[in-house]
Amino acid sequence: MAGGLEPGVFSGAAPGASFALAKTEDISGEYQGEEDYWIEGLEWLDLQGASLVSSSLGYIDWYSYSDMDGNTALTTIAADLAASRGMPVVNAIGNDGPGDGTLIAPADGDSVFAVGGVDALGSPASFASRGPTWDGRIKPDFCARAVGVIVAQDGGTGYHPANGTSFAAPMVSGAAALLLEAHPEWTSMDALEALRATASQVSSPDCALGWGVIDAAAAFMYRSVTGLVRRSDTGAPIPGRPLALSIGGDVFQITSGPSGWFAFCPDATGAFTITGSGGEGTVREVTGFLGDSGVETTVYVDFEPRGLPPSAFPVPSLGGVWFGFDLEAVSDVILTIMPLEGGEIAEIRRSGLPPGPYRAPVEGGAIYWDGCSSDGEPAASGPYFALLDTGGEVTVLKIALVR
């Protein structure tokens, strides 16, 4: 569920992650020694350098509900200790529901992330165990699909649907692994807390769904500035670009990844600024406000003009159009929009522009036409000519609006 991959047939949540597999269950029966095996497995995983544990095992046969207090069961104590060492445990809450207080150890741990189950519609799985813990804490922490989950055939080939919170837990763990790849500044605990903070019922948690069904995309954005670094002249992504993110009086150095993408959670909210921090070209400053739901932006980098012709984008457009160009000297720039039958419906002037590139689709960069005529009315659908005068050199560009 977390790492499986058969191209075109099946994919787990994080097939590109690295895994260390520990088998601790003795299927011949249930006895207390199995907890010792589970703890040994936890210690072994710590020695392997694991950053996150996904466990689909639990123990209740020799415990009572009063023992589900987060401090009694051996596996619970060990799991909380693992979390304190930077290796949190994601554990299935169990399949003894739907009654209250049916969770099993180590899901009762205060540092253990217990995973409940839902069906395809997001309703609680009837069999999924419930909290609260004996001392009144809400469990599960969050939920994932546990009904009709497609899994590998046991003892055979192919796949089949199966039920159980054992299948929900690795989905959550896989989502956390993806978040750690996207957010190298996060710890495993940070990633799991982001999943809980962005789950479907975070404002009203209960012991059926906990904080709700996870939303990995929302967790990725949680309190984070994310985006793509692009060349302003061609739009090509720029990998490995150093940037400086300033917020709340702090400055963080970040670098775009192999695809030009970046994501960073500064552990603060408020007004922010992104500027360059070295590298070729000039980064166009980005400003904004970061809230809990995060911000996605594009950072453009200007390079010395390379003789590229003026451009218009997007074409066709559902709204406005950006017109990019370069200037070799101080110039007045005039953009005129004309329907095919002639006449003029809009004109935009920018006077005394200094030399340099004007390609980025941001204020102070490319010229933007909002798709409206001079009287403010939206222009009709159809093709148009755009005459771009850059200091006496006129370029005719073809554009189109789609309403």
**What is the tens place of the pLDDT at every residue in 40-83?**
999 999 999 999 999 999 999 999 999 999 999 999 999 999 99
* In contact, 218 and 198? CB cutoff 8 Å: yes
Confidence of residue 234 (pLDDT cuts 50, 70, 90): confident
Residue 78 phi/psi, 5° resolution? -65, -40
Residue 2 pLDDT more than 90? no
Over residues 235-250, mean pLDDT: 96
Query: What is the CATH code of the structural domain delimited by 225-302?
Result: 2.60.40.1120
Q: Is the separation of the CB atoms in 172 and 68 below 8 Å?
A: no
What are phi and psi for residue 237, nearest 5 degrees? -65, 150
Beta-sheet strands, E only, within 284-342? 286-290, 295-302, 311-313, 321-327, 331-339
3-state secondary structure at position 173: helix
H or E element in which residue 291 lies: none
Percent of all residues in the chain with a pLDDT value above 90, rounded to a whole number = 90
Residue closest to 357 by CA, chosen among 388, 325, 385: 325
In the CATH hierarchy, which top-level class contains the domain 311-401?
A: mainly beta
**What does the pLDDT read at residue 335?**
97
1 pLDDT above the threshold of 80: no
Enumerate the CATH 2.60.40.4070 domain ranges in the chain, comma separated. 311-401
Give ranges for CATH 3.40.50.200 in the chain.
5-221
- Check if the beta carbon of residue 108 is closer than 8 Å to that of residue 76: yes
Q: What is the pTM of this model?
A: 0.87
Residue that the structure tokens 């970061």 belong to: 290
393-400, Cβ contacts within 8 angstroms, sequence gap of 24 or more: 395/309, 395/310, 395/325, 397/310, 397/311, 397/312, 397/323, 398/312, 398/315, 399/312, 399/315, 399/316, 399/317, 399/321, 399/337, 400/315, 400/316, 400/317
Residues 180 and 190 sit within 8 Å (Cβ to Cβ)? no
- Map residue 91 onto helix, strand or coil: strand
Instruction: Give tens-digit pLDDT for 310-321.
Output: 999 999 999 999
CATH number of this structure's domain 5-221 = 3.40.50.200
Percentages (nearest 5) of helix, strand, coil residues in the chain: 15, 35, 50
User: pLDDT digits over 132-179, tens only?
Assistant: 999 999 999 999 999 999 998 888 788 999 999 999 999 999 999 999
- Neighbour count for residue 388 (Cβ, 10 Å): 22
